[in-house]
Amino acid sequence: MRANLIVLLVIVFLVGIGIGDGRISTHLPWGNQLSSVNSNLPSTLDYSSINQVYQALRDNYDGNLTQTELLNGLKHGLADAPGDPYTEYFTPAEAKDFNDELNNSFSGIGADLTENSSGDLEVISPIAGAPAAAAGLQAQDVIAGINGVSTSGMSVDTAVDKIRGPAGSKVTLDIVRNNTQALTLTITRANITAPSVMTKILPGNIGYMSISTFADDTSSLSQKAAQQFETDHVKGIILDLRDNPGGLVNAAVDVSSLWLPQNDMILQEKRGSTVLQTYTAEGDDTLHGIPTVVLINGVSASASEITTGALHDNGAAYVIGQKSFGKGVVQQLINFSDGSQLKVTIAYWYRPNGQNINHKGITPDKTIQDSGEGLGLPSDPQLQAAEAYLTK
């Protein structure tokens, strides 16, 4: 499986999906709270028992404690109390990291890594204009060493951690190119905001659109890509949502609307049996009627699943790959005056066919296993199956 330096999949997926990675609905501002199923709780908590624990810690703990640490611990504990993996409290610093990750903003060199069939760390592609590309790093370069340490046996996750670092700092990579040429590149890290949408034209005039996460820039970039596909008169489209852990619901609606006629249902949000909101296509269906394949895998979650379900259930796309992650909850991001945030589950979302996919995922029309050599590479059987479907 690919680990993505530019999207921080190690963090966004393992930390993100595992604890609720911000697959956020933005339609409900704090202050317009929904009628609560917890109205039986008191309006304020009795903190007497908490103060007993506090006094015991203060009087007996052999170590340094700060008031901020204790208060943050209480807030984290409150968010953890429901046992919902998608409800979480963020300190101001954690909130900044979360929003940076959601919008593909990070400090690093700007390159995608994978483990190739030989077990080596291989560059999929550097981001144009990012430090990696400027320093001469190329696709299919093998990273043999990081800061003088051999990468033999090193996982992609570990390599990501070692290559990333503060903007302005340097990392030295030992590179093997074309299996023969040994190079050493010293790259200065920078703050990077990577685009969430990448497109190209495949052989046979097939438009390829890959969305890494549903971020602030996804709507505009996907619309631009759709217009280019229309201009190029593509005969088919591959929408690659593999390794995409989700993102903003509104971005998923905008992307789905590129294929769906106005008022086609995209999803419904429900709290119990009450429908909170129905999202429908907005009428900008530039790609309507063009044969389309959506690629998904076990990392495709939430907003990715919204888009996949909307296109499939409305007859706009065929789905290939592996069963998706299965995150069918809607969350609201509540901002506090000190910069902290609460990400809280407020509802469940349902596909146009009426299904909620939470813990179930979406099963593709055709299941194709990943080769393990990296997505988008020549040995990518899922991509090959999509091309074959569109050219048959």
Residues involved in catalysis: 302, 313, 327
Q: Contact 247/300 with Cβ under 8 angstroms? A: no
* Nearest to 285, CA basis, from 314, 248, 321, 258: 258
* First-last CA distance in the chain: 28
What is the amino acid identity at position 121?
L
The owner of tokens 């852990």 is 245
CA 5/CA 107 separation, integer angstroms: 10
How many other CB atoms are found less than 10 A from the CB of residue 92?
Answer: 13
Query: Roughly what angle, to the nearest 10 degrees, separates helices 249-257 and 218-232?
Result: 10
Q: Collect all residues with Cβ–Cβ distance below 8 Å to 91 and sequence separation of at least 6.
A: 72, 75, 340
Tell me, what DSSP letter sits at residue 368?
-
Burial of 37 (0-12, 13-18, 19+ CB in 10 A): exposed
Question: CA-to-CA distance for 313 and 195, rounded, in angstroms?
Answer: 28
Two structure tokens written together for 55: 């006094």
